[in-house]
Amino acid sequence: MAKNIMIVGTGSSVGKSIVTAALCRIFKQDGYSISPFKSQNMALNSYVTENGEEMGRAQVVQAEAAEIEPMVEMNPILLKPTSDVGSQVILMGRVHRTLTASEYRKEVPNIKGIVKKAYNELNDKFDIVAIEGAGSPAEINLRENDIVNMGLAEMVDSPVILVGDIERGGVFASIYGTIMLLEPEERERIKGFIINKFRGDIEILNPGIKMLEEKINIPCLGVLPFTKLDIDDEDSVTTRFNKNVDNDVNIGVIKLPFVSNFSDFTPLEMERRVNVRYITKKEDFDNIDFLIIPGSKNTIKDMEYIIKSDLDKLIYKKHKEGIPIMGICGGYQMLGEEISDPLHIESNMDRINGLGLLSTKTVINEKKDTLRVSGKLNGESINGYEIHMGKTERFNCKPFIELEGNRFDGAINDKGTVYGTYLHGIFENDNFRINIIEEILEKKGLEKDKDKTSFEEIKQGEYNKLADLTRTNLDMDKIKEIMGL
């Protein structure tokens, strides 16, 4: 039977995912087999396993840190918001239903068995299971039938570590308040707390830590400094959307209301000469060398947003200027002439005009394609994965990629300036990414880099940096003692 540890947080985006990833890499380095686990993830950032099952990207990152293949058991429930009140519910990698929050809560008691079974699969296969909570464990209105925080810790009998974010302010109050809102038996499970994202002199912080330890009778396991790491974060509450600094290569990504799989652009963000700018207004189009329309969880609504916000006019302007335009998944659908939704799967609209930059038409249907694919583009190997509902038909344009099995993906216009693909993760292909960057550098009369960047090497280096940072600043001996190692 595996040992376990659960990381919960005082709120969303305090660093639970990153701390869990750090523990995955550290214990892997120490010779243990370790798996991440998050019973329920709400995110539009998803991934497809080898078996064609959809899961949250955060657990994929943690699996990569543990140097194991992602399995859907690591994230048995994925909620993908399709509106302000509803989400598509993915159970064990397959679409279940689209439900409102209240409808989903009624189904939770029936889902508990799925969560426990998935956990037991990992429990039998690995030495350690590193569990990540969701949001805050002190959301007392959601305590009944909780399967993601302290309810889950009780279900699998796990010790718990609480993470607080000092950058947002009030870290002592948030840690104290979280502890005080827990039931006495739940407090007993909290074996330590971590303060994350600290900047400054630790000696100034230490008196507060000591006072807090005395008040809650729980030890501080360490303080993690604020550090820039190129590791995918879990959701769109991220600093990546706030960057707007020109570089040798400026790539614009339309920031859609229902943007999905923004992790597609992490390999571009890791390139030192590239600035990825997330576009919401006219000024963001300035100095753009390459424009991308990303994936969407609600293509109809996002296409409507582009039209109503006049972003379509700015996209056409860039097209006339000769700026290359690429669409990924939902973005590919939007580049076509029409998107129809006869079954009203995404909205109450029957159809909407696309941008008309590719001679394609898309029909949204109930079947969701989730698969990994390989193929050739300009004679070079290319890999990715598909996650989409809808079938796109080409008319007067060529396919973009030749896939294995005599299949084709995407479309490209005659001039090669507009193209679309269903492949997520396409920029992880080093040759594809570097070729785009080098074409832009050549067009601008700038020198190309002699050394090529390997995305996989950079990524593994970042996981090692995270592990080193965590070992230096956390009491790992105490954490191992808490886990019974």
| Residues identified as active-site | 329, 424
Q: 115, 155 in Cβ contact below 8 A?
A: yes
Distance, in Å, from the CA atom of 382 to the CA atom of 434, rounded to the nearest integer, reads 13
Collapsing DSSP to helix, strand or coil, 345 comes out as coil
Q: 354, 337 in Cβ contact below 8 A?
A: yes
Q: State both tokens at 270.
A: 């890791």
Q: State both tokens at 148.
A: 């993601």
Q: 470, 224 in Cβ contact below 8 A?
A: yes
Q: Which residues contact residue 72 at a Cβ distance below 8 angstroms, ignoring those fewer than 6 apart? A: 49, 51, 53, 54, 55, 92, 93, 118
β-pair type (86-91, 190-198): unpaired
The secondary structure of 207-260 as a DSSP string is HHHHHHHHHHT--EEEEEEP-------SSS-SGGGG-----SEEEEEE--TTEE
Q: Which residues contact residue 456 at a Cβ distance below 8 angstroms, ignoring those fewer than 6 apart? A: 428
- The secondary structure of residue 1, as a DSSP letter, is -
Dihedral of alpha carbons 90, 94, 99, 102, sign: negative
Q: State both tokens at 387.
A: 């996650």
Distance, in Å, from the CA atom of 328 to the CA atom of 265, rounded to the nearest integer, reads 11
CA geometry: angle 179, 184, 190, nearest 5 deg: 50
Q: State both tokens at 174.
A: 């948030």
User: How many Cβ atoms sit within 10 Å of the Cβ of residue 277?
Assistant: 21
